[in-house]
Amino acid sequence: MNTQVFPSIIMRIKEFGESDLLVTFFTCDKGRLKGVAKGALRSRRRFVNCLDIFSLVNLEIGLKRNGDLYFLHSGKLINAHPGLRSDYIFLSRASYMIELTESLFPWEVKDPGMFKLLKESFHFMDEGKNLDLISIFFEAKALALGGYGINFEKCCICGRKYTGQGTAVFKREKGGIACLKCHKETAISPGIQPEAVKLLKLIQSSPLSMLTELAYRDKSIREIKSILKLHSEFRLEKRLKTSKYVE
């Protein structure tokens, strides 16, 4: 039997026939996959406490069956992240992270950095770390990993280097900032203060383990949330279904 074991994050679960489960999961080595867990509804012996959304598990995966579907032989739980399913706010944020990951990374697109980001974000959330900071950290880094990082180096219109002095203006069409000489603040091009620019720039380039070392003010968090909402909706060309539950 040709099988491999992959650390996997359970993203979605759906009943499939009378006794099977259709499982969407994210792996470090193969990206986002979908597979069938045969008989999982009748007997959990091969998948003891494994097939719960947000769980980190080792999945034993066989060759593809039925077109694009893999066959899931068994699973071993690594971390259930129960806190993400026991609180509505945490459930909503984790669900948004899943949907954003799905929107940025098509099926079978390998990205170890994204797998690590999702795994660590769930871990820190389950431990009760600062939810707002984890959320913007995840969204900013996920967008950057997906090719949509925000450019804070220079004005996207005149090219003048941004030195961290004075208000900058976020230009969603450009995925960067403009100086006040080139563009005025508007509802869809809000101003962003130097402290928030510095924080968001640092988040885009830092590992999530830096979370506890970041210094920030609530005002900067609010500014960054607004920027990321405009940026993600413009780049993805849609509003994620789960976004209404996290705002």
**All structural domains of the chain with their residue ranges:** 3-79, 88-150+183-246
For 3-79, which CATH class? mainly beta
What is the topology classification, in CATH, of domain 88-150+183-246? de novo design (two linked rop proteins) (1.20.1440)
- Detail the DSSP E strand segments found in 118-228: 151-155, 168-171, 176-179, 191-192
At 40, give phi and psi (nearest 5°): -65, -25
What integer is the mean pLDDT of 69-86?
94
Nearest CA-CA partner of 4 in 33, 45, 24: 33
Do 70 and 94 contact (CB within 8 A), yes or no?
A: no
The model's confidence at residue 65, banded by pLDDT at 50, 70 and 90, is: low
pLDDT band, very low/low/confident/very high, at 152 (cuts 50, 70, 90): very high
Confidence (pLDDT) at 66: 58
pLDDT of residue 102: 98
Residue 154: predicted pLDDT = 97
The pLDDT, as a whole number, for residue 246 is 86
Cα 47 from Cα 163, distance rounded (Å) = 54
Q: What pLDDT, in 10s, does the model give residues 47-64?
A: 888 999 999 999 999 977
Q: Is the separation of the CB atoms in 25 and 52 below 8 Å?
A: no
Q: Which residues contact 202 (CB under 8 A, 6 or more apart)?
A: 210, 214
pLDDT at position 1, please? 57
Amino acid found at 109: V
Q: Do domains 3-79 and 88-150+183-246 have the same CATH topology?
A: no
pTM over 0.85, yes/no:
yes
Q: Is-contact 170 223, C-beta < 8 A?
A: no
Helices 194-205 and 131-145, packing angle to 10 deg: 60
